[in-house]
Amino acid sequence: MQFSAHNRTQMLQEMERGDLDLLVIGGGITGAGIAWDAASRGLKVAVVEKQDFAFGTSSRSTKLIHGGLRYLKQLEFGLVREVGRERALLYEKAPHIIEPAPMMLPIYVGGTYGKFASSLGLWMYDWLAGVKKEERRKMLSREETLEKEPLLKHDGLKGAGYYFEYLTDDARLTLEVMKTAVSLGALAVNYAKAEEFEHENQRLKAVKVRDQVSGKTYRLTAREVVNATGPWVDELRRMDGSLSGKRLHLTKGVHLVVPHHRLPLRQPIYFDVPDGRMIFAIPRGDITYVGTTDTDYYGDIDSPLMTVEDRDYLLNGVNHVFPSVKLSPKDVISGNAGLRPLIHEEGKSPSELSRKDEIFESPTGLITIAGGKLTGFRKMAERVVDLVLRRLKKKEGRSFIPCRTDQIALSGCKDLGPEGFKRFCEEWRRRLTEKGMDPKEAVRWIHLYGLDIEAVWERAEENPDRFLRAQVEHAVAEEMTVNVTDFLIRRTGDLFFYREHCERVLDDVVSAMAEINGWDKETTERQRAAMEKELKQSHPTAEKN
């Protein structure tokens, strides 16, 4: 079924008709990955997401497909190896939204890593993560470091490590994985909240799901149910009556965005801040984003906010290592706050907690997956689906093929691979600019849509002036975009990466969506107000939480 916002009711009805092998609750990267894996192994699978896809942590990460350097410090060698290999594989599958970028690790007298430890650590990292030859670490002298990054504090600088990280757009990655799952037969609906569990003989029997748009409730039954709700997993375990043993430990991580000209870095940098933690500063297009904080969180899971303290912590961190830039609160144009769904370990501080994923099996039958990283989502999905299949085999004697997502192309790039995508990008840049599109814009859209740029361009009738309208039409018809906020925050990344553009196109996006969906005046105004609230909240003036 087409992944259209207009098919949501049909999809929910199809889910209710029954015969689902697997129901996944939660449409972040974890839920999307499970749906992709399950559908590719022939399971009838459905996903319900209470907000928009990637509304939770999966749109609020540092947007790195990590080789996992920080895990080395925690001596989690297996994790470094797994995420390193995953990184290479994901880049092959989605080069339109994953891009290698050299990362600098400056070394200071008295810093977290000395020169020898950095060199050894990065060497081990290359070896464990299977890093390709041209991307292996280099050690830079003080002079080479300052030549590459003159803004760095000179005092106490000894040199730098230079290694590769991969940048992505987390919300788009989640969406591409979900689109791939749907193309393989999965059913997936956003704004569909699992509200109640029904039990029989202490076993989970059905899940009541409310469509947040129509208000209608659906009773879904499935052979197996997976709770992939990230920071919300304990809420669902509590609803299931099975919250016992290990629990989540939520920590908040904030990123802030400043114009690139105010922090004109030449490459991403991972550096020490005064309290001994390390943060990233990542230049991308017209902005540089900085993050992240890591503090215990006890507030409302649905709306973590960047506070003034969070903002000042990051600004101080930047000013400490790049003293000449003198960033002030006035420079901050946007930001976000996300929650890490980590597993509690007695006596450990937020930064010391493991990022490893874990599966909990409740006596009711509910399977919960907690912890983990964006980068490791495919392997996490494999482990969950293997468990589901073991259960189905035991109960019904059915057997399925092993995981093969490592061999399946992702939506948006198919089998092009990085080299093929480069050629595709060049050809499309020519086609779009020939018709008058600004070259920078053209490259942005080719990366955002990958192969789907063709479909959007066709809708625009090859006219750059119709491009925004075509994007909105495409988002509604092909990417289940329900609200204006879905489009401006997660489908395009405008709020985070292109705030000015976001404010500029807001009226046109509201009108286009109103026309496409036949909204009345009140709905249209509600939609505009919801986006205006998001614009306001992305500024760090909120109360402490």
Give the binding site for ligand FAD (CB under 6 A).
Answer: 25-31, 48-51, 55-58, 60-64, 66, 193-194, 228-232, 236, 253, 292, 338-341, 372-375
In the complex, what is the shortest distance from the CB of residue 302 to ligand FAD, in angstroms, rounded to a whole number?
8
- Cβ atoms of residues 350 and 294 within 8 Å: yes
User: How far is the CA of 96 from the CAs of 200, 451, 470, in angstroms?
Assistant: 47, 9, 20
In the complex, what is the shortest distance from the CB of residue 207 to ligand FAD, in angstroms, rounded to a whole number?
9
Cα–Cα distance measured from residue 241 to residue 285, given in angstroms and rounded to the nearest whole number: 48
Tokens (6 digits) for 116: 């020898």
Torsion of CA 437, 441, 443, 446, to 10 degrees: -80
141 versus 214: smaller Cβ distance to ligand FAD: 214
Cα–Cα distance measured from residue 2 to residue 343, given in angstroms and rounded to the nearest whole number: 37
Per-residue DSSP letters for 381-398? Answer: HHHHHHHHHHHHHHHH--
In the complex, what is the shortest distance from the CB of residue 168 to ligand FAD, in angstroms, rounded to a whole number?
8
Query: 274: burial class by Cβ within 10 Å (0-12, 13-18, 19+)?
Result: exposed
In the complex, what is the shortest distance from the CB of residue 81 to ligand FAD, in angstroms, rounded to a whole number?
15
122 versus 353: smaller Cβ distance to ligand FAD: 353
289 versus 498: smaller Cβ distance to ligand FAD: 289
In the complex, what is the shortest distance from the CB of residue 188 to ligand FAD, in angstroms, rounded to a whole number?
11
228 versus 388: smaller Cβ distance to ligand FAD: 228
Q: How far is CA 283 from the centre of its chain?
A: 18
160 versus 256: smaller Cβ distance to ligand FAD: 256
In the complex, what is the shortest distance from the CB of residue 66 to ligand FAD, in angstroms, rounded to a whole number?
5
428 versus 496: smaller Cβ distance to ligand FAD: 496
In the complex, what is the shortest distance from the CB of residue 379 to ligand FAD, in angstroms, rounded to a whole number?
12
233 versus 460: smaller Cβ distance to ligand FAD: 233
In the DSSP assignment, the letter for residue 216 is: -
What is the bridge-based pairing of β-strands 187-189 and 45-48? parallel
61 versus 471: smaller Cβ distance to ligand FAD: 61
In the complex, what is the shortest distance from the CB of residue 436 to ligand FAD, in angstroms, rounded to a whole number?
36
In the complex, what is the shortest distance from the CB of residue 375 to ligand FAD, in angstroms, rounded to a whole number?
4
Cα–Cα distance measured from residue 225 to residue 208, given in angstroms and rounded to the nearest whole number: 12
40 versus 336: smaller Cβ distance to ligand FAD: 336
In the complex, what is the shortest distance from the CB of residue 217 to ligand FAD, in angstroms, rounded to a whole number?
13
Q: Taking the CA of residue 437 as centre, how many other CA atoms within 13 Å lie in the half-sphere pointing to its CB?
A: 23
Tell me how many degrees the CA angle 400-402-406 measures, rounded to the nearest 5: 135
Torsion of CA 50, 52, 54, 59, to 10 degrees: -120
Alpha helices by DSSP H, 397-498: 417-434, 439-449, 453-459, 467-478, 484-485, 494-497
159 versus 230: smaller Cβ distance to ligand FAD: 230
At residue 224, what are phi and psi to the nearest 5 degrees? -135, 150
Amino acid at residue number 1: M
25 versus 160: smaller Cβ distance to ligand FAD: 25
In the complex, what is the shortest distance from the CB of residue 154 to ligand FAD, in angstroms, rounded to a whole number?
29
Terminal Cα distance for the chain, rounded: 41
Secondary structure string (H, E, C) spanning 81-140: HHHHHHHHHHHHHCCCCEEEEEEEEEEECCCCCCHHHHHHHHHHHHHHHCCCHHHCCEEE
User: How far is the CA of 287 from the CAs of 57, 182, 541, in angstroms?
Assistant: 21, 34, 20
159 versus 338: smaller Cβ distance to ligand FAD: 338
Cα–Cα distance measured from residue 38 to residue 24, given in angstroms and rounded to the nearest whole number: 10
In the complex, what is the shortest distance from the CB of residue 445 to ligand FAD, in angstroms, rounded to a whole number?
24
- The residues that bridge with 448 in the sheet, in sequence order, are none
